[in-house]
Structure 1
């Protein structure tokens, strides 16, 4: 829409997405909470906003942002629309993987389109039975005599399914074997970039999610899905190495949680202001406590993005754990403070609570985060 790109670029220094766009995103979040379907019109605004260029290097048409920039943009998006924030986060993740591991041709062809929003990216890693650590993949890629690969299998809980233009798909290309200390993935796994127009690829939005209902999260099946050798991302059989570098980057799903928690607090404060309750000491005390917890979560997410700790990867795991737990606690307390007004389907706080809970289940799940953190003590 007119003015949207200007709003974003004028606000780039402080990551403010602009009040007009923020309001449209909030309205979209309320609509999709009811429909459970992606909002194509608002998604088009995100594509044209300039924000999707954040994680793409300048030489390929992006803004050259680092993990701190990614986390700040994602947090601000989540304050208005957590579903779109998680879609943007996945887009940034794929952008970063191509920047780090892509061939010169992949960078030249895909990165500029990821930056200008004509290409929206999604990650398709999870599948039923693979486990939280993605070690037991059943989806496969088999190389044909002519050098092409044939992918077969099904992916679950793929965010941006059906609306993405390219999918970063994780499949098994060799025998599975453990990689000591990896914690995520296994040897014999490979990444491929699969175009959404591939006739062997079929997205399915039949998942009826409780939270993140506008995130187009669903299944992606591959049946005799033929891709070229040039579509492989990174070395064959070494996807676990690529995955290990993801958390080292400092980009954190905790940013989604922080934005969600902040949105809940803002809604609560406004509601209490309208009811004339902000002057009550007990109310103010609880609000300050909630705000302090959000600031603590924001601080650890910022530390993860800055990669300033002695172990940035572990800090990123901590940031996701802490921020998601804070977000759920803050949203739950906010709903409770509203009393009966908080227990209606019309309350945006209930949507935010469901969205906050969803972050804990996103990969790496909180259970896996704890396992990965604990493993550092025995290494």
Structure 2
């Protein structure tokens, strides 16, 4: 994105103005306590930004992935990265908008659009990792409905959500023997759905959960799209996941560079601002360059996705570049602050935790390197 429209600048300004009322101390407090940033989410939803990418007829803004990426970036750039934008607005929102039935869209999208409801995403399992074909949570037909059994792991924001989009094994492909998948929308209060907190050391507001589906019975209205077509469908949610993850990382990087530069301008030792020394200035300059390059990659991927072109390579590259840039930017800001980098006052450690999380999730840097090696360079599959 080499030039930006007046509309996009207006979105940035509005999102930034709302988020700045809360700021990095608000985020740090909620990250430390692992409590939802509900007030900010609600205000952004009321202003129309949480569902900016969702269809207008269901209360959304009918904008594209570029606009949602701007919301993700600007909230993070003001010190408040909102990971559930990646999960609810991007993955679940895009999947329900594209594959959901009319009943599902009318039931779930309006609340997702105005911020009053969240629908999170359940795909990862203890023994499957990045290998989606190894998903063992099963869906079997039961009359005109379905029964889900199995376990999901590291599922974000279940305590804040009204429903889950669940990826389940529903059969096997007769020609390849690989698992066939189906997608379901499952209310979080469904009988048989057992939720356990999954403690994590990282300071992030969103709690993680292990989920047990113990004969969870669903009606026919729970199936998203077509039976056994979930594997194909779910990949339409993964590019938005990578793009919005990249946008959040870019925002974190921008926030870290700005915080580090401000400190370097004002902190004087022996009568000279520390930013006058190349040992401080050059790492910050390098961090800015890396974040700016990642930003270009992110909006290139967003544009490909929203215009219906193949965005897989670009989305993976953007996610990789942005996460690497964000981790380096926050680390550089911490180092610039010296001992103050670890203080609660400057709120950098929660930013580092979120940046470091994005280096691993929702797809690890190693799996992105595998993808580029195999699909872009034509090298033999390594896993």
CA shift, 1:10, in A, is: 11
Q: Summarize the Cα distance change of 1:321–1:28 in structure 2 as closer, same or farther, 3 Å threshold.
A: same
Structure 1, unpaired ranges of 5+: 1-8, 181-185
> Once superposed, what is the RMSD of the aligned Cα atoms?
2.7
Q: Does 1:174 align with 2:166?
A: no
2:260 alignment counterpart: 268
Tell me if structure 2 keeps the 8 A contact 1:133–1:368: no
TM-score, normalised by the number of residues in structure 1: 0.87
1:222 alignment counterpart: 213
Q: Does 1:280 align with 2:276?
A: yes
1:322 alignment counterpart: 321
CA shift, 1:208, in A, is: 2.2
Q: Summarize the Cα distance change of 1:347–1:205 in structure 2 as closer, same or farther, 3 Å threshold.
A: farther
Tell me if structure 2 keeps the 8 A contact 1:177–1:188: no
1:189 alignment counterpart: 181
Classify the secondary structure of the residue corresponding to 1:135.
Answer: helix
Tell me if structure 2 keeps the 8 A contact 1:187–1:239: no
Tell me if structure 2 keeps the 8 A contact 1:82–1:355: no
Paired with 1:360 and 1:134, the residues of 2 have a C-alpha distance of 19
Paired with 1:214 and 1:153, the residues of 2 have a C-alpha distance of 27
1:122-168 Cα deviation digits (max 9, x unpaired): 111111001213221121122112x1111122211111111111110
Paired with 2:152 and 2:79, the residues of 1 have a C-alpha distance of 25
Classify the secondary structure of the residue corresponding to 2:317.
Answer: helix
**Equivalent position to 2:194, from 181, 192, 202:** 202
Segments of 4+ moved more than 6 angstroms: 176-180
Tell me if structure 2 keeps the 8 A contact 1:331–1:352: yes
**TM alignment of 1:93-172, pairs within 5 A:** 93-145=91-143, 147-172=144-169
Paired with 1:47 and 1:71, the residues of 2 have a C-alpha distance of 15
Classify the secondary structure of the residue corresponding to 1:14.
Answer: helix
Q: Summarize the Cα distance change of 1:47–1:207 in structure 2 as closer, same or farther, 3 Å threshold.
A: farther
Q: Summarize the Cα distance change of 1:288–1:58 in structure 2 as closer, same or farther, 3 Å threshold.
A: same
Paired with 2:239 and 2:43, the residues of 1 have a C-alpha distance of 31
1:367 alignment counterpart: 366
Paired with 2:150 and 2:76, the residues of 1 have a C-alpha distance of 32
Equivalent pairs counted in the alignment come to: 363
2:3 alignment counterpart: none
Q: Does 1:378 align with 2:374?
A: no
